Amino acid sequence: MANIRRRTLVLSTDKELKLFGNSLAISTTLEIGEGAAPNIFSLFEQQITDNAEPKSITNESESKGSKPKVSKKNIAVVSNPYKLTKEELMEIADYNIRLWLDLKDNLRKYGTDSTKVFSIDGSK
């Protein structure tokens, strides 16, 4: 089964396709490409800064010139700019699954060298 590792699509035949991004996409015409812009529903790391005061200062001379400790940490954040619901995201997943299944059906029917594999009008 195909797998994406370190921005490389590795196929069961050991063929490797170097990717610029980390995902694949399919168009309504059943063309395959990279889905490089995760701008609908995605996960990203955001760096937050925590300005922590020193826990204890034993004498006044230590406190002069000392600055609060600043710690930075990364947290995972979900990006959902369209405020899509679970049902809407599942609808998008179903739509894409249908496109991939249509591609598989057309490959079985027409092979890899026929232009009939592609849904030219995108209305399949």
Give the pLDDT mean for 4-23: 91
Q: Is residue 123 part of a domain?
A: no
Q: Which residue has the higher pLDDT, 66 or 11?
A: 11
Q: Is residue 86 part of a domain?
A: yes
Query: The whole model's pTM is what?
Result: 0.73
How many distinct structural domains can be found in the chain?
Answer: 1
Query: Is residue 102 scored above 60 in pLDDT?
Result: yes
Q: Is residue 60 part of a domain?
A: no
Looking at residue 58, its pLDDT comes to 45
Q: Is residue 122 part of a domain?
A: no
Query: Is residue 36 scored above 70 in pLDDT?
Result: yes
Domain range enclosing 33: 3-53+65-117
Q: What is the pLDDT of residues 74-99, one digit of tens each?
A: 899 999 999 999 999 999 999 999 99
* CA–CA dist 82, 77 (Å, integer): 15
Q: Is residue 124 part of a domain?
A: no
Looking at residue 67, its pLDDT comes to 66
| Share of the chain residues as helix, strand and coil, in percent rounded to the nearest 5 | 25, 30, 45
Q: Is residue 43 part of a domain?
A: yes
Q: Is residue 29 part of a domain?
A: yes
Give the max Cα distance, the chain. Answer: 82
Q: What is the rounded average pLDDT for all residues in the chain?
A: 85
Distance, CA of 12 to chain centre: 22
Looking at residue 71, its pLDDT comes to 79
Looking at residue 64, its pLDDT comes to 58
Q: Is residue 9 part of a domain?
A: yes
